[in-house]
Amino acid sequence: MTTTKGLEGIVATTSSVSSIIDGVLTYRGYNIDDLAEHASFEETVYLLWYGKLPTEKELAEFKGKLSSQYAVPSEVMDMLKQYPLNDIHPMAGVRTAVSSLGLYDEKADDMSEEANLNKSISLLAKLSTIVAAFSRLRDGKEIIEPKENLSYAGNFLYMLNGNEPDEISEKAINKALVLHADHELNASTFTARVCVATLSDLYSGVTAAIGALKGPLHGGANERVMKMLSEIGEVENTESYLKDALERKEKVMGFGHRVYKDGDPRAKHLREMSKQLTGITGETKWYEMSLKLDELMTNQKGLLPNVDFYSASVYHSLGIKHDLFTPIFAMSRVSGWLAHILEQYDNNRLIRPRAEYIGPPKQEFIPIEKR
């Protein structure tokens, strides 16, 4: 057996959901650049789940189904209110709440294609409600019910803040959701597929994926990027901060990616959005610091920014609390997880790799009285 640490370069399955070929990311064959510029998040989800872009009628029907599923069971909301909201990371609350949803779905163990698609729509809708509710409850605010006439992105901002978002804010969240929707066989997606390959239910697969996304080397990276920018404070401190960090051999978050050698194709879209939003808020320093770090890391280390890097200043400029960055990632990536879960169910085989044993070769058992 040949061991590859972190399974780097190992092809573990076939998939038609998304691809990364020669540094180009596609969803079902559509270039991420085209989708980021022209598609709504709802169109993107439809593409991931049904394998094609929707017609106007299909999209309207899909949006209608989403709108009907935003409400979270009162039992789950009551449990959410009992969480130690100010003492836990939102991802821990989201993980537990999503797991709880399965307790109140009588179709949770129905493995038919129709039932799993209906559960997928329900989970996508309810996840945004849960994230917004968590944020408002810990701030001592009332939960806000969704509005039927708003987009997925717009509804989230409305449920979070209590005001219908302006066009640029809604566009920013929509674009971020599209860009984060899927990314081939990343850590959380692989986790989801391993889980449901045992023929466990869809809620278990998504809960497992959320647990994987919670880690700072995956979904938590953009939160740590914003922490870094806050520590830098001002543009003129950027170079000295980076110099000290590199001398201490600290990991600079938001740079490099295992599958991209020439840069993450998603980063440029969020870079432009960061420039726009920081200009509107008058806090251009967040964009300027990011751009300076980008230039220094590229020149000094040959590392280019990934999707997490500029998303941090985008979310910050929208007034979103830093520890909500990863839950918003989950709101998007659940669409990709569900696409892969449905694909796994459709052509399933238990995922069971091997491990190379490196312990002692052969030991003689000694009875306990002689040890």
Q: Which residues are catalytic?
A: 257, 308
| Residue 336: φ, ψ to 5° | -70, -40
Output the CA torsion sign for 54, 57, 61, 66. Answer: positive
| Residue 325: φ, ψ to 5° | -60, -45
Nearest to 31 by CA among 20, 40, 42, 15: 20
Q: Report how far residue 67's alpha carbon sits from residue 124's, in angstroms, rounded to the nearest whole number.
A: 10
* Contact call for residues 251 and 242 (beta carbons, < 8 A): no
How many CB atoms neighbour CB 360 within 10 A?
Answer: 6
Q: What is the dihedral of CA 131, 216, 342, 113, to 10 degrees?
A: -30
Give the pairing type, strands 30-31 and 18-21.
unpaired
Taking CA atoms, 28 is separated from 19, 35, 44, 48, 49, in Å, by 8, 11, 10, 7, 10
User: Apex CA 366: angle with CA 362 and CA 369, to 5°?
Assistant: 165
- HSE-CB at 104 with a 13 A cutoff on CA atoms is 17
Q: Report how far residue 279's alpha carbon sits from residue 301's, in angstroms, rounded to the nearest whole number.
A: 29
